[in-house]
Amino acid sequence: MEEKQFDMGDIDIAWCPGCGNFGILQSLKLALTELALKPEEVVIVSGIGQAAKIPHYIRTHFFNGLHGRALPPATAIKAVNPALTVIAESGDGDMYGEGGNHFIHAIRRNPDITNVVHNNMVYGLTKGQASPTSQLGFRTPVQIKGVFLEPFNPLAMAIVLGAPFVARAFAGDIEQTKDILKKAIAFRGYALVDILQPCVSFNKINTLQWFRDNTVWLDNSHDPEDRDHALNAVMQSEKLSLGVIYCHEGKKTFEDNIGVYAHEKTPLSLRALNREAGLQKIILSKKH
């Protein structure tokens, strides 16, 4: 399997030189390649923002929708065709801010999708305002006195809501990020991968070096099947834990629960619609 099959060739990329998105893009291509997936088996669903441009830079099916709204279509695409590998991917502002309500309820639905969030703790495309994950005191042209809103903790939230797979990676570590993405994509159920990344243009605080100094990869002593343990790891304020933080196999997915695949595995999108007999039955029932 060639990594090249996901390459778009010589294209113009709208990201700033040195942006963490490049590392994430590379990790994703490697992960898909190593999982032996073909471009026509994968759909990337994104919202709006710099991160959300990723489907234009990788050869797969894609649905580049509205700001904050990647998760609802991603959930629906998987429900309509479970044979597809569905990845919902956007930035922290898109997924946790504009799309916050969908983030909560997508976790509750548990579709078998991978939710990749490029988390640089700042808004890039709108030029440097605070994001839900910006640190307290982070100054911007809008938050002139510094951020005073409590930073959003997506991982703790996901664990508490019952997400069966929760991980955090770092865009600077391509190899580990690729491994985590592989696990998340292969996982059956909703999988959150929050990927920390520097924003070279608008976040002068949380730089590549800052992330190197303030993160720590979880070691073997971490038991990802223990929810309390996992929650502890993401409540850590000293250093941000990286790795597969929580993983619980066997939870029923949205596709399991919606009923249309209980007796028939063919994707809904490919089934013939023969409805006359059924309609006739309802019509006759309305006679009484």
Partner 1 sequence: MKHNEVSIVLCGAAGQGVKTVEHILVHLLKQSGYHVFATKEYMSRIRGGSNSTTIRVSSERVAAPVDRIDILLPFNEEALWHLQRRISPETVIVGDRTKICKTCPSEAVTFIDVPLAEMAAEVGGKLFINIIAAGVILGLLDIDRGMVSEFIRQFFAQKSNDVIENNITAIEKGCDEGQKLRSSNRIQMALSEPQDMEEMLLNGADAVGLGALAGGCNFLSSYPMSPSTGVMVFLSQHASDFDVVVEQAEDEISAINMALGASYAGARAMVTTSGGGFALMSEGVSLAGMIETPVVIHLAQRPGPATGLPTRTEQSDLELVLYAGHGEFPRIVFAPGSLEEAFLLTQKAFNHASKYQVPVFVLTDQYMMDTFYNVPLFDLSNLRLDTHVVKTDKGYKRFAIAENGISPRGIPGLGEGLVGVDSDEHDEAAHITEDTDVRTVMVDKRLRKLDMLKEDVVSPELFGSEEYDTLLIGWGSTCPIIREAMDSMGKDDLAFLHLKQVYPIPPDTKEFLEKARQTIIIENNATSQFGKLIKLTTGFSIKDRILKYDGLAFTVEELTKRIGEKIG
Q: Where are the alpha helices (DSSP H) in 35-167?
A: 71-80, 92, 100-109, 154-160
Q: Is 77 in the site for partner 1 (CB under 8 A)?
A: yes
Of 52, 20, 70, 44, the C-alpha closest to 195 is 20
CA angle, corner 116, sides to 95 and 29, nearest 5?
A: 145
State in angstroms the smallest separation of the CB of 55 from partner 1.
Answer: 7
State in angstroms the smallest separation of the CB of 143 from partner 1.
Answer: 26
CA diameter of the chain: 74
CA distance 155 to 274: 44
Q: Is 4 in the site for partner 1 (CB under 8 A)?
A: no
State in angstroms the smallest separation of the CB of 226 from partner 1.
Answer: 29
State in angstroms the smallest separation of the CB of 173 from partner 1.
Answer: 29
State in angstroms the smallest separation of the CB of 154 from partner 1.
Answer: 17
Find residue 43's DSSP bridge partners: 61, 86
Nearer Cβ to partner 1, position 48 or 180?
48
Question: What's CA 215's distance to the chain center, in Å?
Answer: 20
Q: Is 43 in the site for partner 1 (CB under 8 A)?
A: yes
Q: Is 36 in the site for partner 1 (CB under 8 A)?
A: no
> Do the Cβ atoms of 172 and 212 come closer than 8 Å?
yes
> Do the Cβ atoms of 18 and 166 come closer than 8 Å?
no
Beta carbons within 8 Å of 230's beta carbon, 6+ residues apart: 159, 166, 224, 245, 246
Nearer Cβ to partner 1, position 141 or 259?
259
Interface mask (CB under 8 A) for partner 1, residues 132-161, using x and -? ------------------------------
Q: Which stretch binds partner 1 (CB under 8 A): 154-162, 179-187, 231-239, 275-283?
A: 275-283
Residues that bind partner 1 (CB under 8 A): 14, 39-40, 43, 45, 48, 53, 55-56, 59-66, 69, 71-77, 79-81, 83-84, 101-102, 104-105, 258-260, 264, 267-271, 273, 275-276, 278-284, 286-288
